[in-house]
Amino acid sequence: MAELTSLTRRQREILDFINRKIESRGFPPTIRDIGTAFEIRSPNGVMCHLKALEKKGFISRQGKSARAIQISHRTVPTTSIPFKGLVAAGTPLAAEEQEERLDLTELFPGADIYALRVQGTSMIDEHIQDGDIVIIRNQESAQNGDRVVAQIDGEVTLKVFQRMKDEIHLIPANREMTPIVVTPDRDIRILGVLNGVIRKC
């Protein structure tokens, strides 16, 4: 049986990514998908990782296309989700992605979820406290009232989403704080919607 310990951290991340895409869509990602997800500019860079995974017995390939990837039966199923770092629940802060993992897939099943640790108190009326870990489902859209992770001009924050005419309001769940008003001239992206909260007592 192939041992996951034989993989580098990046190889393990790419294998997990391939597994998630196959589980969620029924077919593997393209070379471009993998390159975009891991900021690998050269297709040859992606192919080097795929060749290493194939050599170590975790995948098999028929031809050169990433679409031809098949997961080996010797692969141990992944049981963890990405832990990406901190998210502000106050003044937005620059995102610094970490390379850790949390074994929570049984509690929060499905693909495209990740964890963030809350920093700040702007969501305390939603029972989300400083230091809590929030589980986020990765998606790029939101409905009014959703608790979202939003990126504004390169900084991230956790707030309640509300669209108002030409503006988007990111509303804190703390009466002492005021909403962040995002006008059309600002760059905003929805990075995900709250799926759960974990607190260590």
Chain centroid, CA 111 distance in Å:
10
Report the candidate in 187, 179, 201, 169 with the shortest Cα–Cα distance to residue 123. Answer: 179
Q: How far apart are CA 200 and CA 22, in angstroms?
A: 33
Residue type, 36: T
The DSSP call for residue 119 is E
Alpha helices in the chain (DSSP H): 9-25, 31-37, 43-55
Within 8 A by CB and 6+ apart from 186, the residues are: 152, 153
Catalytic residue among 56, 64, 65, 159: 159
Query: CA separation (Å) from 151 to 13, 148, 165?
Result: 23, 10, 20
Backbone angles phi, psi at 55, to 5 degrees: -65, -35
Catalytic residue among 64, 84, 122, 200: 122
Tokens for 163, please give them.
């669209």
Residue 84 and residue 98 in contact, taking contact as beta carbons nearer than 8 Å: yes
Asked if 80 is an active-site residue, the reply is: no
Asked if 159 is an active-site residue, the reply is: yes
Residues with a catalytic annotation lie at 122, 159
